[in-house]
Amino acid sequence: MARLSELKFAMGTSIFIASFIFGLFVIGVIFLLQYFVFGFDLWIGLLLTLGGVGLFILFQYLIGPAIVAATSRLHYLKLGENPWLESNVKELADKSGIPMPKLAVVPDNTPNAFVFGTSSKSATLAVHEGLLRSLNKDETRAVIAHELGHIKHRDFIVMTVLSALPLIAYMIAQVALRAGVYSSRSRGRNKEKNAGVALLAIGAVSFAVYMITFLSVMRLSRLREHYADAYSAYLTGSPRSLESGLAKITYGLSISPKAPEGARAFYIGDPAQAKQEIHKIMESKTDYDLDHDGVLDERELELAMERESKSTWVTMNSWFATHPPTFKRILLLREIEEEMESGRYTSDRVYAHV
């Protein structure tokens, strides 16, 4: 499939950039601690730190799925418990050429879905009860195909590992800054004051590394959503089903009183982002209510989302977002839909519009 290599290249590049920056950061931290604070051997400190980082990433990779399963309170489906869901997932998984994932239902009224696991063979596809109730069967199939796209691309595994780096940098920044402030206030020896300055420097650099690695991870997260959307359109042959499904998901998440929680990057829709998108539109509701009836109909809402997606605020905010703005995702699907209707769309153009 054309341009799937570009997603793999983007994943590889993100891993390299984040790891390279993080590696330089670790070496610098060890040097400063060795020189100003502890006085231990530089190479021993480097080995201990890299070993600790490696163990943390391995722990997140191995234990992360169990934590997701426990915190989301999901219920694994037994054979025959939901025949429609089972048969459709099996059909689409076979068409994708991937193993049938484990199926689970989350007792949550918000419309959402996600996949997680340590490999494609052990992946779990979890669907919220709210999604099964809010979306029709075609829209649900489109969401399933989107999630199978993540399994096909194996991007959920990369995200699990890569997301550990900004988390480590953030924790180091918090500890170093607090310890540095405490040491700098000390009236003791000059060495203690120097240690305080070194810790403050480590904290500042750690925060900068956190921001760089975080933005790199978020960029990859947004890109993988576009690829999964395009894959869903290809697999189902119905981009329109995912278009309407995404609109319902965004609206449903925006009105949910429940606070966003969990690993939001793995959901098909980010609850926090959905609330921001709809809230921003409602602030300018009168500008988009063309017929002045007090209600935004489908055409007016689409116009509002299109205009808002081009705003400077949305552009800057999207740098920190786990998902692309909903209307940008819909625009991509419409381009694919137009090409399908023209008869020019072929399997080698699955990702041509990403």
Are 265 and 352 in contact by the 8 Å Cβ rule? The answer is no
| Domain-located, residue 203 | yes
Residue 254 lies in a domain: no
Q: Specify the range with the lowest mean pLDDT, choosing from 4-8, 127-131, 243-247, 319-323.
A: 4-8
Which pLDDT tens digit goes with each residue over 147-169? 999 999 998 888 888 887 788 88
In a domain, 169, yes or no: yes
- For residue range 266-300, what is the model confidence (pLDDT) as tens digits? 899 988 888 887 777 777 777 777 777 776 665 67
Domain count, the chain: 1
Asked whether residue 298 is domain-assigned, the answer is no
Q: Using pLDDT thresholds of 50, 70 and 90, give the confidence band for residue 2.
A: very low
Q: What is the pLDDT of residues 166-191, one digit of tens each?
A: 888 888 888 778 877 776 665 555 55
Question: Please, how many CA atoms are within 13 Å of residue 183, restricted to the half-sphere of its CB?
Answer: 22
Using CA atoms, how far apart are residues 282 and 78, in angstroms rounded to an integer? 43
Residue-wise pLDDT for 86-103, tens only, equals 999 999 999 999 999 999
pLDDT at residue 259 tops 50: yes
Q: What is the pLDDT of residue 46?
A: 60
Q: Is residue 114 part of a domain?
A: no
* CA distance linking residue 296 with residue 278, whole number of Å: 11
Q: Which residue has the higher pLDDT, 49 or 346?
A: 346
Report the alpha-carbon angle 7-10-13, nearest 5: 150
Average pLDDT, the chain: 81
> What is the residue range of 26's domain?
4-68+161-216
- Is 177 inside any structural domain? yes
Instruction: Examine residue 86 and state whether it is found in any structural domain, yes or no.
Output: no
**Is 295 inside any structural domain?**
no
Give the residue from 127, 105, 117, 126 showing the smallest Cα distance to 151: 117
Mean pLDDT of 73-88: 94
Catalytic residue ranges: 147
Report, in this order, helix, strand and coil percent for the chain, each rounded to 5. Answer: 70, 5, 25
> Which residues are CB-contacts of 3 (< 8 A; sequence separation ≥ 6)?
350, 351, 352, 354
C-alpha atoms less than 13 angstroms from C-alpha of 293 in its C-beta half-sphere:
5
* Residue pLDDT, tens place only, 15-46: 766 666 666 666 666 666 655 555 555 566 56
